[in-house]
Structure formats: C-alpha cells, structure tokens
Structure 1
Amino acid sequence: MAGLARGRLAEERKQWRKDHPPGFVAKPRTKADGSTDLMIWDCKVPGREGTDWEGGLFPVTIVFSEGYPNQAPACYLPQGFFHPNVFENGQICLSLINDDPDLGGAWRPAVTNKQILQGIQELLDDPYTRSPAQRLATELHAADPEAYRRHVRAMVARYPADREGAA
C-alpha cells in the first residue's frame, strides 16, 4: 500500500507543477539529507480576495499516511490559529478531509491536494460553526462579528502575503 500512496503523491506533485491556483504553494517537505518526503507537504493558502482574510498567506501542513488515498490526510494550520474550525493543535476540521462518515466525513480517494487547499481557503471565510473546534472563535463569529474580524485581521497581519513574495 505504501507504493500506492507515494505513487499517487508523486503524480499529484507533477500535476501541481503544471496547474495550480494563483497564490497557492504546495510542495513536499525536504528532509535533512536533502531528499524529498512525499508524505508531508508544506503549503501556503492565500486569503480570498474581498474577504477579511485577504492579504494573508497561511501556512498549511498536509500529513499523509501510507493508507492514502483511501485514508484522508491530516491538515494543520499553525498551533493556536484563530478560526472556528481549527483545533488548538492546528488541526483543521473540514468535512472534505474527514474520512469518518458517522462524523459527516466527505473524503473520497479522488480528492486532490488542489481541492483540499481550495477547500481550506473557502473554510477560512465560511466557517462551519455547527461543528466547532474552537469555542472562542465560534462564539465571537456568532455574537460579536466585529471582534471576530479583528482576530481575523490579526491572523492576516501575522501571516502577510507580501512577506512571502506572493499574493
């Protein structure tokens, strides 16, 4: 099965190089010895234009298991990232990358890294608050939209796109 996961990821890497959304970054991590680790990808997701997230470029780590593509990868924003669907450890709660149908999982082996990253971009501005991972962010989103926006803008300031040379 390990061969299946690595083969699929090598193909996704080729496809990404040919065609990826503007402003997004996704590449397998480089190991200390200089070799490529296809099982961990370091990515950047831009905030969508016209939203409070615009101007940010948010680091996402995707961790694949040997069971990929039959098992969904785990996706992480930085620890402590402010968002209703991000756990304290940074793990992203998104149905697209949840492979437990009893918990509303929508994972399918045909889902690509490109779709995952675009789903995360969409989730930033359109949180699913009926299944919160972070109490404060969820409460502010519902009860105090202006305070929520201030927290979002703080995330943008912490991870500005211009710092990375991308928009």
Structure 2
Amino acid sequence: MALRRIQKELTDLVNNPIPGVSAAPRTDDDLLQWRGSIAGPAGSPYEGGVFKFDIVFTIDYPFKPPTVKFSTKIYHPNIGDDGGICMGLLKSEAWKPSTKTVDILNTLVNLFSEPNPDDPLSTVIAEEYRSNRAEFNAKARQWVATYAKP
C-alpha cells in the first residue's frame, strides 16, 4: 500500500509542481528514499539560497509520517544543527494518514517565510527571532551565503 500511495503522490507532484521546490526518489528503484530542494522564498532572509533535504518514508506510510531532514545548514529556530525539523505536521501525535507529501512540502516552504518560535528546536535562535529580528535576519542571510548557494 505504501509504495502505491507514494507513486501516486509522486505523479501528482510531477503533474502539479510546487514553485521553487523539487522532490523525487533518489533512484528509480527505491520509492522510499527521496531527495529534494527548496529555493528560499522571495522576501525572506533565505532568498537566494537553495536548501537540500531528504525524505525517508517507511513501509507504514501513510499511517506513520516520513522522516524529513535538511542536509543544508540553516539558521532557523525550527531546524536543528543535524537538519532535523520541528514541524507539527510531522509529529507522530499530530500525523494524519490523509496528509500527503505535497502538504509536507508546502509546510516546509511556509516555515521559511514564517518560522514558529513557539515550537523551536533552538531556543536561542527562537529568542533572537522574537527579540532582535534584524540580527536574526542578518545571521540567516550570512548562513545562506555560506551554506546554501546554488
């Protein structure tokens, strides 16, 4: 069931791509391991960067969420040093089998424009985001220039 569902979602993504986002299986013979990238949204401190990520589905998908991790370093309150993401949609207790890969990708894009400092992986970055947005934006832009250039 998982592979059939993932193939359908892949076909939907190919037919209806998300602007600035690419995601597909790493190889033709393994639908469970995906690689993708997101272009930093215009108007955000991440603009001009390209952020690579991996999605790993389990055979229990869609009943269990996939694991999503960035391989590009990002200065963000909801993304850890190891690339892990704190995003409500991916938490086991909030996951719904009706959630699709396109929903995950759209939520990731939104996270770049609207970080959630109330549910951070880095409390230090979240506090800076809340209290000194100019400094946060400057550091995020510097990390883009250092780690996320295409």
> How high is the TM-score relative to the length of structure 1?
0.81
Asked if 1:78 is matched to 2:75, the reply is no
Corresponding residue for residue 87 of structure 1: 80
Give, in whole Å, the separation in 2 of the partners of 1:90 and 1:147: 22
In the TM superposition, what is the alpha-carbon distance from 1:136 to its structure 2 partner?
2.5
Other structure's SS at 2:139 match: helix
Other structure's SS at 1:59 match: strand
> How high is the TM-score relative to the length of structure 2?
0.90
Give, in whole Å, the separation in 2 of the partners of 1:16 and 1:125: 22
Select the residue among 140, 154, 161 that pairs with 2:142. 154
How many aligned residue pairs are there?
149
Q: Which runs of 5+ in 2 are unaligned?
A: none
Asked if 1:67 is matched to 2:60, the reply is yes
Q: Structure 1 residues 126, 134: closer, same or farther in 2, change over 3 A? A: same
Give, in whole Å, the separation in 1 of the partners of 2:4 and 2:108: 24
Deviations 1:71-111 (A, max 9, x none): 111111127532111122211111111121xxxx2x22122
Deviations 1:41-66 (A, max 9, x none): 10111222222222222111111111
Corresponding residue for residue 136 of structure 1: 124
Corresponding residue for residue 45 of structure 1: 38
Asked if 1:9 is matched to 2:15, the reply is no
Corresponding residue for residue 122 of structure 1: 110
Select the residue among 51, 56, 77 that pairs with 1:58. 51
RMSD of aligned Cα (Å): 1.6
In the TM superposition, what is the alpha-carbon distance from 1:129 to its structure 2 partner?
1.2
Deviates more, 1:146-155 or 1:114-123: 146-155
Percent identity reads 28
Give, in whole Å, the separation in 1 of the partners of 2:19 and 2:114: 20
